[in-house]
Amino acid sequence: MKVVAFNGSARKDGNTAILIRHVLDVFESERIETELIQLSGEQIRGCMACGTCRKVKNMECKIVNDNVNLYIKKMYEADGIILGSPTYFSMMTSEMKALIDRAGFVARSNNDLFKRKVGAAVVAVRRAGGIPTFDAINHFFLINQMIIPGSSYWNVGIGLNKGDVEKDAEGIKTMEDLGKNMAWLLKKINT
């Protein structure tokens, strides 16, 4: 089994990456393979609404000068998908939104590529706006007919500067509990 995780932060190895790694550590201890992809520094544009994916149905986006088609393939091949983002003005980052819009349209144009995979959102926030971000990512999973495990709180960790989330003990526990619940679910539905 494999889980692929995406960090939508503009800041590599920051709070979102730390939170995601706490979830992935649980998978590794449960012998579930993991991969973390950080979008920091990548130029990913949004959906052009060209409709090509709906016509061609080749599991790809027409825009080929970035990594989105590779990421769609990685999501398709994985059993679980984690989408992590810091909160930017009460929402996910532009990079994560671009990935969601394009992967989502391609998936829905190709018989729901992500149907019944397990999905989880991971959010970093300084103060407020984490819940709208968490909700928006979960909307992506839900419309793709994916299954979302819960945790002991909503999957949000608090911090401003790189590393601050490590001081948010409840946030870290939330990520560990998420990892345990997601690993349990993955094993149940893949036996």
Which residues of the chain form contacts with ligand FMN (CB under 6 A)? 9, 11, 14-16, 86-90, 124-129, 159-160, 162
What is the smallest separation between the CB atom of 16 and ligand FMN, expressed in angstroms? 3
Q: What CA–CA distance (Å, rounded) separates 146 from 164?
A: 31
Residues 6+ apart with CB under 8 A from 68: 44, 61, 98, 99, 102, 103
- Nearest CB to ligand FMN, comparing residues 11 and 45: 11
**Backbone Cα Rg of the chain:** 16
Residue 116, number of CB atoms within 10 A of its CB: 11
- Nearest CB to ligand FMN, comparing residues 9 and 174: 9
Give the strand order in the sheet containing 33-38: 33-38, 2-7, 80-86, 118-125, 156-158
Which residue has its beta carbon closest to ligand FMN?
14
What is the smallest separation between the CB atom of 166 and ligand FMN, expressed in angstroms? 11
- Nearest CB to ligand FMN, comparing residues 91 and 189: 91
What is the smallest separation between the CB atom of 88 and ligand FMN, expressed in angstroms? 4
- Nearest CB to ligand FMN, comparing residues 112 and 135: 135
What is the smallest separation between the CB atom of 18 and ligand FMN, expressed in angstroms? 8
Report the Cα 5 to chain-centroid distance in Å: 6
